[in-house]
Amino acid sequence: MASAKEIIEKARKEARAVLTEMESKELLRSLGISTTQMKLAASKEQAITVSKQIGYPCVLKVSSPDITHKSDAGGVKVGLADDAAVAQAYDDIMASCKAKFPAAFIEGVTVQEMARPGLEVIVGMATDPQFGPVLMFGLGGVWVEVLKDVSFKIAPLTKGDAAKAVREIKAARLLDGFRGSEPVDTSALEDILMRVSDFVVKTPQVKEMDLNPIFAYPKGAVAVDARVILGE
């Protein structure tokens, strides 16, 4: 497994500031953060072969250093049940991404295990000119997009800060279980915040991180999408 340092150096050599989802998740795994299992496939045939290895249902996503918002480009297909669905998804993703981003270099697709449903949350890091790295926590989906229900903490976070970041969002009650659903593992979320905080404090080359979404479960949490951006 490549170290965070090696992953960053490779991107630097290629003059890229944005790590691919594959690289970003590899980096997260090197920090001890769980992610969905994934592999790159450079052709439709390869996508089918890899899907069989990963197992159905699976997910296909466009892999391109030039396409960072994959769904907007029609580049994400989830719940693929068999070879035929993968073949169709591959064609649809390529057609849509080429139409929307004609100049993009497309490596292929990543084939991923389909994460079981969980509560969608977000962990982010941005670098403030005054405060340096700042960590963000929020619930995913409309909670962050429409209601802007997020909390912020300046790095380095203490364990107490991480616990507060999770509890301080307005919709924190959803974490405790809602209408019969089990409570989510908030200590797993605090652990992710701590690991990201520790990493960014000792890695000033990293300017932004986005773990969006993380699926939170009654036990554990898994980063389903990730993006890491390097600074100057």
Q: Provide the minimum distance between the beta carbon of 103 and Mg ion in the complex, in angstroms, as a whole number.
A: 22
Distances (CA, A) of 86 to 44, 80, 83, 227: 8, 6, 5, 24
Build a one-symbol-per-residue string for 73-92: x at contacts with ligand ADP by CB under 6 A, - elsewhere: ---x-x--------------
End-to-end CA distance of the chain: 26
Decide: helix, strand or coil at residue 90. Answer: helix
Q: Where are the beta strands (DSSP E) in 129-205?
A: 132-139, 150-154
Contact segment (CB under 6 A) with ligand ADP among 46-54, 63-71, 159-167, 169-177 equals 63-71
Q: Tell me, by CB under 5 A, how many residues bind Mg ion.
A: 2
The entry of ligand ADP, Mg ion, none that residue 59 binds, CB within 5 to 8 Å by partner kind: ligand ADP
* 165 lines the binding site for ligand ADP (CB under 6 A): no
**Cβ(37)–Cβ(223) below 8 Å:** no
The entry of ligand ADP, Mg ion, none that residue 114 binds, CB within 5 to 8 Å by partner kind: ligand ADP
* 97 lines the binding site for ligand ADP (CB under 6 A): no
Build a one-symbol-per-residue string for 205-224: x at contacts with Mg ion by CB under 5 A, - elsewhere: -------x------------
Which residue number places its CB atom closest to Mg ion? 225
Contacts of residue 64, Cβ cutoff 8 Å, sequence gap at least 6: 20, 75, 97, 101, 104, 105, 106, 107
Task: Output 58 or 226, the one with its CB closest to Mg ion.
Answer: 226
Q: Provide the minimum distance between the beta carbon of 35 and Mg ion in the complex, in angstroms, as a whole number.
A: 12
* 225 lines the binding site for Mg ion (CB under 5 A): yes
- From the list 9, 2, 42, 43, the residue with the least C-alpha distance to 25 is 2
- From the list 33, 10, 38, 68, the residue with the least C-alpha distance to 199 is 33
Q: How far is 200 from 155, CA to CA, in rounded Å?
A: 8
> Which one of 20, 24, 34, 36 is in contact with ligand ADP (CB under 6 A)?
36
φ/ψ (deg, to 5) at 73 = -90, 5
> Which one of 4, 27, 59, 184 is in contact with ligand ADP (CB under 6 A)?
59
The entry of Mg ion, ligand ADP, none that residue 13 binds, CB within 5 to 8 Å by partner kind: none
Contact segment (CB under 6 A) with ligand ADP among 71-79, 124-132, 156-164, 191-199 equals 71-79
The token pair that represents 230 in the structure block: 């390097």
**Cβ(122)–Cβ(213) below 8 Å:** yes
Residues binding ligand ADP (CB under 6 A): 36, 59, 61, 69-71, 76, 78, 112, 114-115, 213, 224-225
Residues binding Mg ion (CB under 5 A): 212, 225
